Chains A and B, each alone.
Chain A
Amino acid sequence: MSLDKDQVQHIAMLARLRLADDEFAETQDKLSRIVDFVDQLSAAPTDAVVPMAHPLNQAQRLRPDQVTEANERERMQKNAPAVADGLYLVPKVLE
């Protein structure tokens, strides 16, 4: 297994994912297989190759910093699990 238990736990924490006890072993096994599989990339001859960030090698288009959308807070918050007075509710962060 190329990824040990602690590594998988660490990755899950970085990704903000709680894995249930019964899915941990399978996740570790399959993730390890994926990492082993993509390891073959290290053999590719890439000296002096420029990394490709955009499939057409284009730069990001910029637009003027102008407000284009109307404020539709109520409409948008209809999908929110918990709101009050137009605010999103989360558990207490500061005591």
Chain B
Amino acid sequence: MALHEQTLTELKAGLDRGDFTAVDITQALLDRIAAHGKDLNAFITVMGETALANAGQADKARAADQGGVLNGLPIVHKDIFCLRDVLTTCGSRMLKDFVSPYDATVVERLAGAGAVVLGKTNMDEFAMGSSNETSFFGPVKNPWGLEYSPGGSSGGSAASVAARLSPAATGTDTGGSIRQPAALTNTVGFKPTYGRVSRYGMVAFASSLDQAGVITRSAEDAALLLGVMAGFDERDSTSIDHPVPDYVAGLGESLDGLRVGVVRQHFDAGLDEATGKAVRDALAVLEARGATLTEVDLPNLDYCVPTYYVVAPAECSSNMSRFDGVRFGHRAEDPKDLLDLYCRSRGEGFGAEVKRRIMTGTYVLSAGYYDAYYLQAQKVRQLISEDFKKAFEKVDVIAGPTTPTPAFKLGAKTDDPITMYLNDIYTIGANLAGLPAMSTPCGMVNDFPVGLHLVGPHWAEASLLRTAHQYQTQTDWHTRCPEAYR
């Protein structure tokens, strides 16, 4: 099997056997990125030289029987993660020349385990978007059809894994930004429990919702990476000190007795019919593996998207206030006074969607509107969280569709922000409640992939990964690759 066709787990075994070196893998993937990266617009920075140097170091370490669990394995980072001395743009004009002075904890941990970073991937500006069209660097294309969106905001990460330019990528998920692009590109997307993975060095969008995760080609690879990334970090004040189990070791356990919840409202009119059928077939596979299906109710599901579009913009407007044209980032030419410097630097540096979210947040937090919007949204958020709590008294995992439809065309949803926002109707609840969730490939509709969405109670990462892994032993959807990228 060619190097680019192999998963992380397969590459790891090959490296252990001495079939090839880390330099071989790195060179093969850099060649793929050179051949396909531009068409897909998946990368903002390619780190060829440092990648080869780091791969060489990994090979030396291996020869000396040293090196971590990811020694010599390739990865790409969403351009929201700070990498020391490397451009970190967040897909924005505001940061187009920003060279990070330090490493994010996620970056540091993966590098510490020996992973080799190939480059940094394109994304919606400051992770605000569901189609990758808000990037200052232009939209990423979906490898399953170049006129289609790969989803967002981690679209470059998803497209590069789907097109076999890298076996794995990091991503971030505030309302579905890992899981939705994973579903639309036939990859595995994993968002851990809030506080599970450090947010230090990850440019903040909405601090009570943001969580780092991974996009891979198998649940096994997601488990491998999560084991390295997860764990308490002193430098992130929202990091939670909770033991990290061996995620890979638990994958083989059977699904006997696993209680899977099916949410009635997930299969309402908003769901594309063929997508719904693919998801129902997937549920039948879980049942055949020993799981029991139970209907559960999330009565406040319809409030998820409006709640999110109050809470997330409110937090965004606070976080984005750090961009002032003074300490870093874009600065307007010839400001006439300090106010002019702030207003023009921000007006020029941010794109339209980011400005809208900052303004929405400013509005819902402003005097006279705070109680009606922000406080009310925080209360509804509590109701949504309680719905999940009640559901998880009856079931271990909730399963359903990741997105209402397969991939949509670039430009199809840019006129109406609400149509775009409703894409995330099934994924947003997990962020509001801080729950772990993932998407795994479960079918094709008109040659475009469909994702199965799994949500668990807090800290149930292992049972989600096991459910997805057991599903993947029975199906081959996750192994499918668009013809042009085989």
Contacts and interface: CB of A to CB of B under 8 A. Distances in A.
The yes or no verdict on A and B being binding partners is yes
Interface of A: 3, 8, 11-20, 23, 26-27, 30-31, 33-35, 37-38, 40-42, 44-46, 49-56, 58, 60-61, 63, 72, 75-76, 78-82, 88, 90-93
Given A17-B343, A55-B385, A80 B327 contact: yes
B244 interface: no
Interface residues of B, number: 75
Contacts of A76: 101
Nearest to A23: B352
A53 to B, nearest CB: 6
A15 B338 contact: no
Interface string B179-190: 000000000000
B360 A50 contact: no
Contact of A44 (B240, B350, B376): B376
Given A44-B376, A51-B382, A18 B208 contact: no
Interface stretch (B115-123, B165-173, B212-220, B299-307): B299-307
A55 B208 contact: yes
Interface of B: 97-99, 101, 193-195, 208-209, 234, 237-238, 240, 300, 303, 305-307, 309-310, 317, 321, 324-331, 335-344, 346-348, 350, 352, 355-356, 358-360, 362-364, 366, 372-373, 375-383, 385, 416-418, 421, 431-434, 458
Given A44-B300, A61-B237, A17 B355 contact: yes
A81 to B, nearest CB: 4
B352 to A, nearest CB: 6
* Majority SS at the chain A contact face: loop
Given A50-B379, A55-B209, A16 B327 contact: no
B297 to A, nearest CB: 15
22 contacts: A16-B339, A17-B355, A18-B340, A18-B347, A37-B305, A41-B303, A44-B300, A46-B380, A51-B375, A52-B378, A52-B379, A55-B431, A56-B195, A56-B434, A72-B101, A75-B101, A78-B101, A79-B98, A79-B328, A82-B331, A90-B326, A91-B338
Q: Which 9 A-B pairs have the closest CB atoms?
A: A55-B434, A18-B347, A51-B378, A81-B331, A79-B328, A46-B379, A18-B343, A52-B382, A49-B379
A23 B380 CA distance: 33
B237 A38 contact: no
A34 to B, nearest CB: 5
A11 B366 contact: yes
Contact of B326 (A19, A30, A80): A80
Q: Interface centre among A11, A34, A79, A90, by most B CB within 10 Å?
A: A34
Given A51-B375, A91-B340, A15 B359 contact: yes
A8 B360 CA distance: 10
Nearest to B235: A68
A16 B98 CA distance: 21
Nearest to B302: A40
Contact of B346 (A18, A27, A61): A18
Contacts of B193: 56
Contacts of B432: 55
Contacts of A8: 359
Contacts of A50: 379, 382
B433 A81 contact: no
Contact of B360 (A35, A49, A61, A80): A35
Contacts of A41: 303, 306-307, 310, 373, 376-377, 380
Given A17-B343, A18-B347, A34 B338 contact: no
